[in-house]
Chain A
Amino acid sequence: MRIEQQPAYVLHARPYRETSLLLECLSRDHGRLGVVARGVRRARARTSRAQLEPFRPLLLDLLLKGELATLAAAEDAGLPARLHGDAGLAGLYLNELVVRFTSRQDPHPALFDAYARTLARLAADEAPGWPLRRFERDLLEAVGYGLQLDAEAGSGLPLAADGWYVYQVEHGPVRCPPGRAHALRGADLLAFAQDRRPAPEADLALRAMMREAIRHHLGGEPRTWQMLAAMARR
């Protein structure tokens, strides 16, 4: 199947054979794709290696046969997102999440849009925490593990804005006494559900909630967490 002018981002590249690269790409209409880019590691390649770096909006022409696609052409679809410092590590985290949560050739247009939005937010020098939480929420939603953020587990009653809840993965928010570890206010959960920034005091509990959900559905921890933890220890 020929795919033309497909919006996509490269998530990861590894050397393949002598002069080629095996790319993992996130495309808008075909989901994650394994793409062989022939000869791009040669000195005079038609498509430069720099162009196939992550975080660059691309339009790809591909020939999809079986499991892998072959790259016919790549052109820039905008300016690359320049992620400095912590934003760069956050970008690698996005890529790891996408690769580990999606299967090849499983389309998730909403995920593609969320990914592009998150890159723009990270490039705009926003502190990475909030953009990452929004992405984690949208990613889980897109792949079918969406969190129930506006109704109590079991009863399905609407959350009370001033109530306290702990989030139980696969169930939802459960009422708890105030001040419990990783407890969240109903108002913060509702804000998160409506994509409004919860109170800054809720940052840690929000992160713990998303991490618990990711750990549960992944059956392990993303490598990037270990990297960030090692960095925090220094």
Chain B
Amino acid sequence: MSASSPLLNELIEALRCLPGVGGKSAQRMAFHLLERDRQRGLRLARALEQAMQRIGNCTRCRNFSEEPVCALCASASRDRHVLCVVESPTDLAAIEQATGYRGQYFVLLGRLSPLDGMGPQELGLDLLAQRLGEGEIEEMIIATNPTVEGEATAHYLAQLARAGGIRPTRLAHGVPLGGELEYVDRGTLAHAFGSRQALD
């Protein structure tokens, strides 16, 4: 980068930490903020600083939260008998937006993956076991991704649930709505075929 000021260089370098932002985009962002949008640039700086320093993980569900217990876990209107386990906060957001689910969540922040060094401890399963042990939960909805690692995680979680006398359920896998069988991946089709449902 041939920027003339060390501060500008620093800003451009710092922006490159964002996903999908290379040198060129970082430079464009930096120039944009400096040339036309200093107010909002300052707002961004403040928000970023506060978020980085104050957002931690909820002590009950491990989702991002600046309080020790997040709003979702603290809410009195959520059903305390159902717990949905997801891999990441983005999965939680997707379920919140797409379904009318009113129960609670647990966020693993990953999946079992020996080669990535992700084991039960890294996924906070001690905390999960503790929550299951509180006795309120009746059903655990396992919403890990339908990947090899996600399935292994689901198997592990199901055993954890059964050991605690809780009914484990798993999201169904199938053909996407509005899709055509011809173009569906073989594995998905095999799975959908295997777990077909009776029409009544």
A interface with B by C-beta (< 8 Å): 11-12, 14, 18, 24, 48, 50-51, 53-56, 76, 79-80, 82-86, 88-89, 91-93, 95-96, 99, 222-224, 226-227, 230-231, 234
Contact = CB atoms under 8 A, between A and B. Distances in A.
A95 B147 CA distance: 15
Contact of B147 (A53, A84, A223): A53
A127 to B, nearest CB: 15
Given A53-B187, A85-B155, A234-B163, A91 B148 contact: yes
Contacts of A50: 185, 187-188
Given A50-B188, A84-B151, A92-B152, 7 more contacts: A12-B116, A18-B20, A79-B186, A82-B190, A96-B115, A226-B119, A227-B119
B148 A14 contact: no
Nearest to B149: A92
Contacts of A224: 114
28 contacts: A11-B115, A12-B113, A12-B115, A12-B116, A18-B20, A50-B185, A51-B187, A83-B148, A84-B151, A85-B155, A88-B151, A88-B155, A89-B152, A89-B156, A91-B148, A91-B152, A92-B113, A95-B115, A99-B115, A223-B117, A223-B119, A226-B119, A227-B119, A230-B119, A230-B125, A231-B159, A234-B129, A234-B160
A76 B152 CA distance: 23
A223 B116 CA distance: 9
B153 to A, nearest CB: 9
Contacts of B156: 89, 227, 231
Best-buried of A14, A53, A86 by chain B (most CB within 10 Å):
A53
Interface of B: 19-20, 112-117, 119-121, 125, 129, 147-149, 151-152, 155-156, 159-160, 163, 185-188, 190
Best-buried of B121, B125, B151, B160 by chain A (most CB within 10 Å):
B151
A54 B116 contact: no
Contacts of B163: 234
Contacts of A18: 19-20
Contacts of A231: 120, 156, 159
Contacts of A89: 112, 152, 155-156
B155 A227 contact: no
Nearest to B164: A234
A222 B190 contact: no
Nearest to A91: B148
A224 B149 CA distance: 12
A223 B187 contact: no
A14 B117 CA distance: 12
B114 A80 contact: no
Identify the 7 closest CB pairs spanning chains A and B, nearest first.
Answer: A223-B114, A18-B20, A50-B185, A88-B152, A96-B114, A224-B114, A230-B120
A80 B151 contact: no
Best-buried of A48, A55, A56, A91 by chain B (most CB within 10 Å):
A48
Given A14-B116, A222-B114, A227-B114, A86 B19 contact: no
B114 A56 contact: no
Nearest to A18: B20
Given A86-B155, A92-B114, A231-B159, A54 B185 contact: no
Contacts of A91: 148, 152
B120 A79 contact: no
A83 B155 CA distance: 11
Contacts of B129: 234
Contacts of A88: 148, 151-152, 155
